[in-house]
Amino acid sequence: MKPFFNVETKTLMFISLLVICLQGAVFVLIQQHTQGILLAVLLSLLTVLTLLAGSLVGLLCSLGIIFLVGSFLLYLSFSSTAALILPLPLLLVYGFVLLFAVLTAGKLQESIVNQGRLNRKLQEEINQLVAVDASTGFDNRNRLMLELELEMKRVQRYGGSFTLVLIQMEYYKDFQKLYGEEERLHLLSSIANKVRQAVRITDRKFRYSADRLALLLTQTDDTSIEVVYDKLAQSLKDHQLLNQKFVTLAFRTAYSVYGKQTELLDCEDFISQMESEMVAREL
The CATH class of the 141-280 domain is alpha beta
Tell whether the model's pLDDT for residue 220 goes beyond 80.
no
Among 177, 259, 175, 165, CA closest to 212: 165
Residue count of the chain, please give it.
283
Q: Are strands 204-209 and 251-259 parallel, antiparallel or unpaired?
A: unpaired
Tell whether the model's pLDDT for residue 147 goes beyond 80.
yes
- For residue 214, which phi and psi values (nearest 5 degrees)? -135, 140
Task: Determine the average pLDDT of the residues in 162-169.
Answer: 91
E strand spans, the chain: 161-169, 204-209, 212-218, 238-240, 246-248, 251-259
Q: Give the pLDDT confidence score for residue 2 in this predicted structure.
A: 47
Residue range 14-45, pLDDT digits in tens: 787 778 877 787 778 777 777 778 778 888 88
Residue range 182-193, pLDDT digits in tens: 999 999 999 999
How confident is the prediction for the chain on average, in pLDDT?
Answer: 82
Residue range(s) in the chain whose domain bears CATH number 3.30.70.270? 141-280
Give the Cα separation of 82 and 85 in Å (integer).
Answer: 6
User: 132 with 208: CB under 8 angstroms?
Assistant: no
Secondary structure of residue 173 in the 3-state scheme: helix
Q: Give the pLDDT confidence score for residue 5 in this predicted structure.
A: 57
- For residue 108, which phi and psi values (nearest 5 degrees)? -65, -45
Residue range 68-92, pLDDT digits in tens: 776 776 666 666 554 545 676 777 7
Q: Give the pLDDT confidence score for residue 63 in this predicted structure.
A: 82
